[in-house]
Amino acid sequence: MKKTILGFIALIITTGQIIAQDSCSKFYPLTEGSSFEYTSYNKKGKEDGVINYTISEVRSEGAATAATFDMKYTDKKGKEVFATDYSFTCENGLVKIDYESLFPSQMMQQYSEMGLEMDISGTDIELPNDLEVGQELSDANVSMAMNMSGIKMNVSVDQTDRKVEKKETITTPAGSFECYLLTENSTAKTMGATIETKSKLWLAEGIGMIKQETYKSNGNLMSSTELTKFTK
């Protein structure tokens, strides 16, 4: 279970930073019906799975605007691994993503039926509109306290040293895009194990995440994800 939880948190950290723009956010979409396809690859560049998103709802919540994403992840054989939805809010040009909403309800229900109690907390990921080269972004984290029949396990992931490194053009099967390159460090801890990774994230105005690469602490590539299709 430990490996499953850590692997899933690694995935939601990626998927929680994905997509486009409207009048509130340059990097996240608020247009119902927009869809995006991302293909993930292993360290050898072989396809590992596909993530599909559709924006199913846009609504007002007081002074903020909120959007709901329907997300489906399929493995390299085309088998659906899970499907879920999650929301984010945008207010005054600042996007915030609620980590708890990223966890698939199917997975949460399955663990609940197994007798697992889970408490999720954290600091939302924030992405402002006014990105500039050299800018430092706020840290983020997510923590889970789990209890099954008296056996307790805590899992935490910290995202630190988030920076805007530079602007450059990135090409994927979906096209060529002028992007901001964001870098960060992640530290995952559970049951005495610590996993440290570094990541690069390329964001384009009007689209959002174009590509992401994750590296071990020694600099070796672990995985990558890139935009392969989108409709707006």
Q: What is the model's pLDDT at position 165?
A: 97
Greater confidence (3 vs 169) lies with: 169
Residue 113 binned pLDDT confidence (cut-offs 50, 70, 90): low
pTM of the model: 0.79
* Residue 128 clears pLDDT 90, i.e. is over it: no
**Alpha-carbon Rg of the chain, whole angstroms?**
17
DSSP, collapsed to helix, strand or coil, labels residue 186 as strand
Confirm if 210 and 170 have CB atoms less than 8 A apart: yes
Domain 2-231 has what CATH class? Answer: mainly beta
* Residue 3 clears pLDDT 70, i.e. is over it: no
| pLDDT tens-place string over residues 40-86 | 999 999 999 999 989 898 888 888 888 888 889 899 999 998 788 87
For the chain, the residue count is 232
Q: How far apart are CA 90 and CA 215, in angstroms?
A: 30
Q: How far apart are CA 157 and CA 141, in angstroms?
A: 6
* Residue 220 clears pLDDT 50, i.e. is over it: yes
| pLDDT tens-place string over residues 23-52 | 577 776 678 888 999 999 999 999 999 999
**Phi (first) and psi of residue 27, to 5 degrees:** -115, 0
- E runs forming strands in 11-104: 35-42, 47-61, 64-75, 80-91, 94-97
* Residue 169 clears pLDDT 60, i.e. is over it: yes
pLDDT-above-90 percentage for the chain: 36
- Domain parsing of the chain, residue ranges: 2-231
Least confident of 27-36, 129-138, 158-167, 206-215: 27-36
The average confidence (pLDDT) of the chain is 81
| pLDDT tens-place string over residues 180-215 | 999 999 998 887 788 899 999 999 988 888 999 999
Q: What is the model's pLDDT at position 1?
A: 45
pLDDT-above-70 percentage for the chain: 80
Buried (b) or exposed (e) across 35-62, using 16+ Cβ within 10 A? ebbbbbbeeeeeebbbbbbbbeebeeee
Q: How far apart are CA 124 and CA 114, in angstroms?
A: 28
Q: How far apart are CA 50 and CA 88, in angstroms?
A: 22
